[in-house]
Structure 1
Amino acid sequence: MRSGLWNSPITYQDNFPLSKQEWTTLYLFSINHTVDGIVFDGIQKLDLELQPPKEILINWLVRTEKIEQRNDWMNNILLDQVDFFKSAGISPILLKGQGLAQCYINPKRRVSGDIDWYFADDATFLRAKNILEKNGFRIDETPGFSASFMWKNCETEIHQRMFDIHNPLIRHYFRKIEESESENKSMFIVNNTEVYRPSPLSNLVQINLHILKHLLSFGIGMRQLCDSARAYVSLENAYDKKALYSLYRKIGVLKWINLLHLILVDKFGLSENVLPFELNRKADYNWMLSDILNAGNFGFHNEEYKEAENKTGKRAESKSRIFSNLMKYIKVAPQEAVSFPIVHFYSRFSS
């Protein structure tokens, strides 16, 4: 994965060659963490005799081609939606997804999810929602002051808030950040069409708080950490590192961010030089890394709950899992850990 993420040689090969069963395990693990396209790029760096058996390699190749095709399809959906909102006089900001893919060496190898739009104020959010409903889209309210709808079988979400911040005591502060950073929003081009995304500073905060949000609920996979690592490199010279450090401290997540940074440097191969502050090497991150490895993409592949969730189609033991995560993460992100379950519950009934 590191090799594919940075287009670098595989310098440590003591574990090779792998057996067919080991390659199968790695293949499935990569899928569960939605990094199969990135890992496939890394496999190309291996000598031929160390690569997977032909049948596994062909399956992996076909899957990677499907990832690229889906990214092309997602980009076309994205352009349709840009035109739709533009015709209504609305200019939303794209969060995560295809915007983050631009931070990768090969954007099409990143597994795409859904499309997320942020609207700069509540009035524009409600206007966008009304226009969608008038055009026949069914809007479903979702927790976190958001809503979702299907566009040509593509799940799309619209958001009133850019940041996954749950501490109500600093919401007003974040609204000011959203307003001030709106002047620094960035842009990328898809098929000659401009698509807006958050400012570099906002983008990094949004990416990392999104990871924390899912760690506080049911878990997160390795792809989102790949996003964070690639964003730090891609945006390194585009934001004020001192400002980002101050923002992390203001939120009260500095200890947690340090754990994330340690994992990105030690396990994902991120250069420490691109980070906004010096690492605290005394902190232990292994418990959090274990959470990430066990959970898989958005916690859907946790073996402890997988069988029950496959039977019911719902999250298993959701209340106890969220409470357990609160107790674990309260030591590194106390305000968010306490606020998350309260706001998560409240937002279900506030629309």
Structure 2
Amino acid sequence: MGKSGTGGIERLEQQFFALLRSGLWNKAIDVTLFEGEVAWRNLLEMGQKQTVLGVLADGIEKLPVAYRPPLSEIRWLQMQVVAMKRHYVLLNHTLKEISKDLRTAGIHAVLLKGQGVAQYYRYPEQRQCGDIDLYVSSEEYVQACNVVRNYGIATGEESENRAHCHFSRNQVIVEVHRLVTYSDDPFMDCKLQGIVNRYFQNTLSYKVLAETDIWLPPINFNAFYLFFHLVKHFIMEGVGLRQICDWALFLHVHQREIDKKQLLDDVRSVGMLKLWKIFGCIAVNYIGLPMEEFPGFQSVAEKRVRRVINLIFYVGNFGHYTPQNGTRPANYYKGKLYSFHKRYWWKRQIMPLCPMLIGRWTFFSLFHSIKVVLLHR
């Protein structure tokens, strides 16, 4: 959806971003955008698909009562917000308990993403949260997995891959990472691990989550990592606006602490400068981050930015809402073929944005997928 569509779609998008910016930055809304009939159900569905419904709820509260949604929509929204708050409390409780167990075992884990960036929102409990991601050193990885395995009650499937162990405990997903991040492209991965090692070798540069003793990554690394992580998901299957909001808020809060030259050098070293500029335009022109707070801001052709915005709205958070997705077959090989077709379609949509980077990414990801299928793991 975008400016190439009908006037109704343009207005709907304007309303959506007005509410989003208001909720993020605590700013007044242009109420003239909400005069006349408003497609509230469509707006709320957009917020749900982009996992920013809690932020929209805050924006809606800033509208005069006469401009707000009908009572039925308000009640539905309130139910969603209550569920978010409950899950937020559950995640915080689980995080504190697991962190305590890890420290008792002599392991000090680093919290990645999630609750670590929720603190930058006006109302952290209204950020739609997902799981808990903890990074530990390779020497402590097996022991850390055992600590989490012995915590609580298993409430879902649990598995392990080359990067992390995936647990479902007390209705909360917990992932223990031995790698902060990685790439299937061995050349990019070499650069990535170099960046990780440079930042993580000095524990004095770690930060601490407010009102806890839980470690957070170094600020400059997080500015890079939040971007890399959202781009990684964007290239793989699609990404929601929540990840861009996380990143924009982080850049805003830590604008004076970030070494902008080093950050841009890190982005350039992994070949993502083109996408940095595109997502920077989205962060500034759509999300509302002040231009001077974005490192190395440069305007990009609006056609390219609109392409990304349209795709984000089309597929939703992590590509879960792609209309032609259908249901993944239960059969192992048919399921893999389904995933291949889905990702091949997606790569065709995004390839023109950065052909060299996305082309390499696609090649090495395909090679890895074939290896997984042949080895059946």
**TM-score of the two chains, using structure 2 as the length reference:** 0.83
Classify the secondary structure of the residue corresponding to 1:232.
helix
Structure 1 pair 251–169 and aligned structure 2 pair: CA distance change class (3 A): same
Unaligned runs of 5+ in 1: none
8 Å contact 2:34–2:67 — kept in the other structure? no
Correspondence 1:222 to 2:246:
no
How far apart, CA to CA, are the structure 2 residues paired with 1:253 and 1:345?
Answer: 26
How far is 1:80 from its partner?
A: 0.6
* 2:333 paired with 1:291: no
Counterpart CA distance in 2 for 1:142 and 1:289 is 33
Q: 1:318 to 1:133 in 2, by over 3 A?
A: same
Counterpart contact for 2:278–2:300, Cα < 8 Å:
no
Determine if contact 2:283/2:289 at 8 Å carries over to the other structure.
yes
Distance in 1 separating the partners of 2:43 and 2:241: 13
Q: CA distance change for structure 1 residues 171 and 311 in 2, over 3 Å: closer, same or farther?
A: closer
- Give the one of 355, 360, 366 matched to 1:331: 355
Alignment size in residue pairs: 345
Q: 1:64 aligns with which of 81, 85, 91?
A: 81
- Match of 1:13, SS state, is helix
> What is the SS of the residue equivalent to 1:317?
helix
In structure 2, what is the Cα distance between the partners aligned to 1:142 and 1:222?
28
**Alpha-carbon contact 1:308-1:316 (below 8 Å) kept:** no
- Give the counterpart of 2:141 among 125, 130, 133: 125
Residue of 97, 119, 123 corresponding to 1:80: 97
Shift in Å at residue 49 of structure 1?
Answer: 0.8
Contact 2:118 2:124 in 1 (8 A): yes
Are residues 332 and 225 of structure 1, via their aligned partners in 2, closer, same or farther at CA, if it must alter by over 3 Å?
A: farther
Q: Distance in 2 between matches of 1:102 and 1:346?
A: 40
Instruction: Give, in whole Å, the separation in 2 of the partners of 1:45 and 1:65.
Output: 19
From the superposition, tell whether residues 308 and 347 of structure 1 become closer, same or farther in structure 2 (CA, over 3 Å): closer
Q: 1:17 to 1:81 in 2, by over 3 A?
A: farther
Is the partner of 1:177 in helix, strand or coil? helix
Query: What is the CA RMSD across the aligned residues, in angstroms?
Result: 2.8
> Structure 2: which 5+ residue stretches go unaligned?
1-19
1:320 partnered with 2:341: yes
Please list the CA deviations of residues 38-93 of structure 1 after superposition, one character each: whole Å capped at 9, or x if unmatched.
00000011111110011211221232122122211211111011011111110111
- Aligned AA (1:147): C
Alignment partners' CA distance in 2, 1:69 and 1:239:
33
What TM-score do the two structures reach when normalised by structure 1?
A: 0.88
Q: Distance in 1 between matches of 2:143 and 2:267?
A: 32
**Amino acid paired to 2:29:** I
Aligned to 2:215: 196
- The percent of aligned pairs where both chains have the same amino acid is 23
Measured in 1, the distance between the counterparts of 2:376 and 2:253 equals: 37
Q: Does 1:36 align with 2:61?
A: no
Q: Larger RCO: Structure 1 or Structure 2 (Cα < 8 Å, ≥ 6 residues apart)?
A: 1
Rounded to whole Å, the distance in 2 between the matches of 1:148 and 1:45 is: 40
Task: Indicate conservation of the 8 Å contact 1:34/1:222, yes or no.
Answer: yes
The structure 2 residue matched to 1:176, chosen from 194, 211, 224, is 194
Check whether the contact 2:23–2:58 (CA below 8 A) recurs between aligned residues: yes
Q: SS of 1:256's equivalent?
A: helix
TM alignment of 1:157-306, pairs within 5 A: 157-182=175-200, 183=202, 184-190=205-211, 193-282=212-301, 284-305=304-325
Tell me how far apart the structure 2 counterparts of residues 136 and 41 of structure 1 sit (CA, whole Å).
34
1:344 Cα deviation from its structure 2 partner: 5.7
